[in-house]
Amino acid sequence: QVQLVESGGGLVQPGGSLRLSCAVSGFLPRYTTMSWYRQIPGQEREWVANIGSVGVDPQYADFVKGRFTIWRDSVKNILYLQMNRLQPEDTAMYYCRGFTYWGQGTQVTVSS
């Protein structure tokens, strides 16, 4: 049984940083692409970033390019999202995804 558990969200001031983690347990197909999504209240859930298998470059949504970095620890089975220069419009619930599985989300709030 696959479980994805996000952590690392919280309240941060504009310009600040957070690092989100997604701990993966259970079976996922080898080389499964892992993703981060976010959902702003009143909007559709939107894709943020992907990291795939060996030889596949990470992909980023335009609104986070140059600010966010996705990577994974293949030993610990943890997916990360480093979020820098956060702005109020980044406020959202952030979710990790692998295959058809979703985590419960972690809230990121950017406010002064």
Q: What is the mean pLDDT of residues 63-75?
A: 93
Pick the closest to residue 91 from 72, 71, 67, 108 (CA basis): 108
Contact 109, 16 (CB under 8 A): no
Helix (H) or strand (E) holding 11: strand 10-12
- The tens digit of pLDDT for each residue in 6-64 reads 999 999 999 999 999 999 998 877 678 999 999 998 999 999 999 987 667 899 999 99
Tell me if 68 sits within 8 A of 49, measured CB to CB: yes
CA distances from 43 to 32, 40, 72, 93 (A): 27, 5, 28, 11
DSSP letters, 26-85, are S---TT--EEEEEE-TTS--EEEEEE-STT---EE-GGGTTTEEEEEETTTTEEEEEE-S
Q: Is 21 helix (H, G, I), strand (E, B) or coil?
A: strand
- pLDDT range class, residue 97, cuts 50, 70, 90: very high
On the CB side of 38, CA atoms within 13 Å amount to: 22
